[in-house]
């Protein structure tokens, strides 16, 4: 059974019990792959957990970059959160419509901005709905709230830092993509990218972190999963994936396992797979 932790993961029971707390803020952070034929905003408009605001991962990003949904500049994050009525002193709970897929990315974004009273809803919106809990289709009334941000540079890595880690082996580089993509056996869904993985990285597919109902596996099972993939969780880690979304699921799992020294490679394979001067491993 999940032990609720308002800084990492909370259950639907916990959220239901705290739903009307005045300082609770709920965010729908649903995001889907372009080929999924799902529209996150339209689904939010049709039904969401009462009081939830919609966090647009593509819009609340650094749109000066050619790479997809890179971490937003501090000023943009602060202004968007203020407009959504999310600020200092709030407990934030984030969910998504896939169960657990994109919500950890927004959990990590808050962490990057120095906010720690932030949790992902275990099992997400599908579990909430399956249990017959309340939903609504109206956006909440929002009042501006001031937010203080202290960006935590240690939680994010760029391509130069990842290339150095790949050579030196001083970090565990952990890739959340499906095994066949990691091994380079299939083409990448984004056109123009090479197949394979960062040399000396390990593979823990994001789907392997989850139970059949979309909840995250226990800490004991997670440790055994990472260990089975050859990951030494006592070492600092860099998490990566296709475009920096599911990498954050690995970061959340590491935090749950008591390893706080982790960072997301924000460019992930969308960046690494694009440049021919960066080495690629297969198999």
Write out pLDDT tens, residues 218-239: 999 999 999 999 999 999 999 9
Write out pLDDT tens, residues 58-99: 999 999 999 999 999 999 999 999 999 999 999 999 999 999
Q: Residue 222: its pLDDT value, please?
A: 98
Q: Residue 34: its pLDDT value, please?
A: 80
Q: Residue 141: its pLDDT value, please?
A: 92
User: Is 57's pLDDT higher than 90?
Assistant: yes
- Report all structural domains of the chain as residue ranges with CATH numbers, in order of start: 9-151 (3.40.250.10), 154-272 (3.40.250.10)
Pairing label, strands 156-157, 201-203:
unpaired
Where in the sequence numbering do the catalytic residues fall?
241
What are the phi and psi torsion angles at 42 (to 5°)? Answer: -65, -40
Enter the tokens of residue 225: 């999963």
Question: Of how many residues is the chain composed?
Answer: 283
Q: Select the more confidently predicted residue: 119 or 1.
A: 119
Q: Residue 269: its pLDDT value, please?
A: 97
CA distances from 228 to 179, 186, 224, 233 (A): 14, 23, 6, 11
* Residue 194 burial (CB count, 10 A): 16
129-138, 168-177, 186-195: lowest mean pLDDT where?
186-195
User: Is 1's pLDDT higher than 80?
Assistant: no
Q: Are 178 and 205 in contact (CB under 8 A)?
A: yes
Q: Select the more confidently predicted residue: 153 or 144.
A: 153
Percent of the chain with pLDDT over 90: 95
Report the alpha-carbon distance of residue 65 to residue 183 in Å, rounded: 28
Distance of alpha carbon 243 from its chain centroid, rounded?
Answer: 11
CA-derived radius of gyration, the chain? 18
Q: Residue 205: its pLDDT value, please?
A: 98
Distance of alpha carbon 233 from its chain centroid, rounded?
Answer: 19
Q: Side by side, which strands form the sheet with 156-157?
A: 156-157, 262-265, 237-240, 172-175, 201-203
């Amino acid at each position: 059974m999940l032990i609720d932790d308002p800084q990492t993961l909370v259950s639907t029971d916990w959220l239901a019990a705290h739903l009307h707390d005045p300082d609770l803020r709920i965010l729908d952070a649903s995001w889907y792959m372009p080929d999924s034929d799902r529209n996150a905003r339209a689904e939010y408009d049709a039904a969401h957990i009462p009081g939830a605001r919609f966090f647009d991962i593509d819009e609340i990003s650094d749109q000066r970059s050619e790479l997809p949904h890179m971490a937003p500049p501090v000023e943009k994050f602060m202004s968007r959160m203020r407009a959504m009525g999310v600020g200092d002193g709030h407990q934030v709970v984030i969910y998504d419509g896939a169960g657990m897929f994109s919500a950890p990315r927004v959990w990590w974004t808050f962490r990057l901005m120095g906010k720690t009273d932030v949790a992902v809803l275990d099992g997400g919106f599908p579990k909430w709905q399956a249990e017959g809990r309340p939903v609504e289709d109206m956006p909440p009334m929002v009042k501006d709230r001031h937010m203080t941000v202290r960006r935590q540079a240690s939680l994010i890595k760029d391509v130069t830092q990842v290339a150095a880690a790949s050579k030196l082996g001083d970090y565990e580089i952990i890739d959340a993509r499906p095994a066949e993509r990691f091994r380079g056996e299939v083409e990448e869904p984004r056109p123009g990218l090479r197949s394979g993985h960062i040399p000396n990285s390990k593979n823990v597919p994001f789907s392997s972190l989850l139970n059949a109902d979309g909840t995250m596996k226990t800490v004991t099972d997670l440790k055994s999963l990472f260990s089975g993939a050859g990951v030494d969780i006592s070492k600092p880690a860099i998490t990566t994936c296709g475009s920096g979304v599911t990498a954050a699921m690995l970061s959340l799992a590491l935090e749950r396992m008591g390893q706080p020294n982790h960072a997301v490679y924000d460019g992930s394979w969308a960046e690494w797979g694009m440049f021919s001067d960066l080495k690629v491993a297969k198999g």
